[in-house]
Copies of this chain bind each other. A is one copy, B any other.
């Protein structure tokens, strides 16, 4: 299977697949000796499928590598696997809480503009001009609604 076909099958771009190979998230592809095209076998497909599945669940590459390592340690218990999932789940839950707090604050801010008119009197701008309060300062690590890790 060539890279374009694989990309379609797994709903990602060819660039992403080449990138994963480059950083070692998937093993090197086999190359066609004539034209240097990448070719993929069932093993590759399964591995990439696993990775994409994890990414769809918003796991980081680091977390995915931990899962892959844990999986390959035959006979080991799945405690490590559970731990990775639990930790990730906590990241997601925490991020949801943060965003919900943010949502509240934005609703409150939005209501400040009661009487649309000249912007100097806009309650929103007045509010944003005022000193930062401690509630809002609480959300330090958020770069634009992103980054649970």
A interface with B by C-beta (< 8 Å): 10-11, 46, 49-50, 52-54, 56-60, 67, 70-71, 73-82, 85-86, 88-89, 91-93, 95-96, 99-100, 102-103, 105-107, 109-110, 113, 116-120, 122, 124-125, 128-132, 136-137, 139-140, 142-149
A53, A70, A73 — most chain B CB neighbours (10 Å): A53
When the two chains form their complex, are residues A144 and B149 in contact, meaning their CB atoms are under 8 A apart? yes
Interface pairs A-B: 9 shortest CB-CB:
A146-B146, A145-B148, A78-B122, A78-B119, A56-B136, A146-B147, A58-B145, A89-B106, A96-B99
Distance from A88 Cβ to chain B, minimum over Cβ atoms (Å) = 7
When the two chains form their complex, are residues A149 and B145 in contact, meaning their CB atoms are under 8 A apart? yes
A80, A100, A110, A119 — most chain B CB neighbours (10 Å): A119
Given A50-B129, A81-B125, A85-B106, A57 and B136 contact (CB-CB distance below 8 Å): yes
